[in-house]
Chain A
Amino acid sequence: MEAQHNITLPEGSIEKTTTTLNFGPTHPATHGVFQNIMEIDGERVVSTEQTVGFIHRAFEKLAERRNLYQITPITDRLNYCSSPINNMGWHIACERFLKVETPKRVDYLRIIIMELARISDHLICNSIVGVDTGAYTGFLYVMQYRELIYEIYEEVCGSRLTTNIGRIGGFERNFTNTAFTKIEKFLNEYPKVLKEFESLFTRNRIFMERTQGTGGISAERAMNYGFTGPNLRAAGVDYDVRVANPYSSYQDLDFTVPVGTTGDNYDRFLVRNAEMWQSISIIRQAYEKVQSFKGAEAEIFHADVPEYYLPKKEDVYNNMEALIWHFKIIMGEVNLPKGQIYSPVEGGNGELGFYLISDGGRTPFRLHFRRPCFIYYQAYPELITGGMLSDAVVTMSSLNLIAGELDA
């Protein structure tokens, strides 16, 4: 039998019974730059070691040399699947810090955009789960509606992916009629598409078998691991920042917080789908409220904060005061008040928090982003150990990890 072994191990080497597999950082199934060095026994995952930080860009350090309005483009690049939520989350943090009251119309307009962003975020995540279980159709099908969402962003702020949408105090300009027409179009057409998307997956036997019972976590463990957002709710904890710490007048609207029970991939999928239905309803309510404003109220799109809100260009040329504010804002000559604030919003994948410390200077003394997926990605080894390698791929995409946010 000796002859069949054509590999002779060198003296002193240890016979290994498991295989080491380098999964990532640029593997197509990781959907982002994530490296996992896995020990696998056959196809079962024995252990994994994660490496993160491949696209670390020192945002927190950068933010210490920037004025508040210059930090907004940085937040774009956190969770780039739903940048408007990050932008507005940052603006809301600044407004809370500066004690700025925003008009109701601004709040509702923001809600429309934030919920559109949430839909596009969940849509990508859920359809990618579909791709990883072998169903490409859903992914291609819903792209059309993500495109429509991006067109709405484009109409509102001029850009699509990294939006830099809005200003401290509101929006840079009022929504155009085209924007409203597109939002209406979205509200009319999207429910049908979502219904069809659900019927492709929710009761699909293959999909259910692949996702049920894989990557599950209990509510206690999920909380201990710092899960937030749909991942926590899938485990059965009804924590939603929109309800717990309402911002941007979410308290005026009527919606429910969907929860799951087992915290597995299937529940995460279902919770995200249910949240999209809620988002549609929220957009509809907010849209009706926006439409109910009449006369001068219907023209309001920003709060009155001359220190932080750039004046209109024609005012800059014709009005002394506007010129002064314009100069002060651009040159960053506005001192912030002293103090600190922690302001959370419900991001696409969890609680996105901004912890801002100011020492009275022109830029933040310290700005820390609480990035939801940085915190819950720690649980990944626990979620996949003992499972199949192919389920580890599905688990990774169903956690909705965004490398840009994770590495900040």
Chain B
Amino acid sequence: MALNNEIIQSQLEAKFAEQVTSFSTDSGILSFESPASLNLKVIQFLYDELGFTFLTDLCGVNYPENEGGELVVVYHLHNFVENIRCRYSVAVPVQQPDVFTATKIFEAANWMERETYDFFGINFVGHPNLKRILNVDEMDYFPMRKEFPLEDQTRIDKDDEMFGRG
């Protein structure tokens, strides 16, 4: 039986009922969400029952306007046999960004979660070695959050002499 987005959606709905929500098919990939506490159950279900045995990508996103779910973890999973992908995301509040680690299911999640922690400060509960990976250890903020905008290129208070122009 070939797997398609409808089957994945109906299987997830049958298993998790109302818990898995916001199904949409943006550019061919089925996306869905669930509460963060369910993330391992959903991933394990996708792994065991639907054959999503490859973690393509894991990354964080910051939506500062989305109150109560400012930080989002996005998983891209891939089923090699049926050649189908899906996108699964969980949202957590910025005050307590706790998400269970997927390292027990995918070794690949290890560094991707460290990277997500490094840039967004998402705390992966149970991660074997959750420390910064690309930034320096002494850094005391999470630079990819939207509260740290890049420098405005039109600012005029710069001392041009320091940059050899002026």
Contacts and interface: CB of A to CB of B under 8 A. Distances in A.
A339 B26 CA distance: 7
A360 B61 CA distance: 16
A161 B54 CA distance: 32
A61 B143 contact: yes
B111 A378 contact: yes
A355 B85 CA distance: 13
B54 to A, nearest CB: 6
B150 A225 contact: no
Given A370-B56, A374-B111, A378-B108, A61 B76 contact: no
B106 to A, nearest CB: 6
B26 A341 contact: yes
Contacts of B132: 53
Interface in B24-39: 26-27, 29, 31
Interface string A40-82: 0000000000001100101011101100000000000000000
Would you call the interface of chain A mostly helix, strand, loop, or mixed?
mixed
Nearest to B87: A342
Nearest to A382: B107
A226 interface: yes
Interface string B89-133: 000000000000000001110111001000100000000000011
A226 B133 contact: no
B55 interface: yes
Contacts of A53: 132-136
Contact of B26 (A239, A340, A366, A407): A340
Contacts of A62: 150
Contacts of B133: 52-53
B150 A64 contact: yes
Contacts, number: 88
B74 A224 contact: no
B27 A366 contact: no
Interface in B16-65: 26-27, 29, 31, 53-57, 59, 61-62
B59, B76, B132: which has the most chain A beta carbons within 10 Å?
B59
B80 interface: yes
A403 to B, nearest CB: 12
Contacts of A97: 27
A224 B80 CA distance: 12
A375 interface: yes
A53, A351, A379: which has the most chain B beta carbons within 10 Å?
A53
B80 to A, nearest CB: 6
A284 interface: no
Would you call the interface of chain B mostly helix, strand, loop, or mixed?
mixed
Given A239-B80, A342-B57, A378 B107 contact: yes
Contacts of B112: 226, 375
A84 interface: no
A78 to B, nearest CB: 14
Interface in A188-233: 221, 223-226
Interface in A312-360: 339-342, 344, 351, 353, 355, 357
A144 B72 CA distance: 48
Interface string A371-394: 000110111000000000000000
A56 B57 contact: no
B50 to A, nearest CB: 16
Interface string A96-117: 1100000000000000000000
Contact of B57 (A225, A239, A355): A355
29 contacts: A53-B134, A53-B135, A61-B144, A61-B150, A65-B150, A221-B107, A223-B53, A223-B54, A225-B108, A226-B54, A226-B107, A226-B108, A237-B80, A244-B80, A339-B26, A339-B27, A340-B27, A342-B76, A355-B74, A355-B76, A357-B61, A370-B56, A374-B115, A375-B111, A377-B111, A378-B108, A378-B110, A378-B111, A379-B107
Task: List 8 tightest A-B contacts by C-beta distance, closest first.
Answer: A226-B108, A53-B134, A368-B59, A56-B134, A370-B57, A65-B150, A341-B27, A225-B107
Interface of B: 26-27, 29, 31, 53-57, 59, 61-62, 74, 76, 80, 83, 85, 87, 106-108, 110-112, 115, 119, 132-136, 143-144, 150, 153
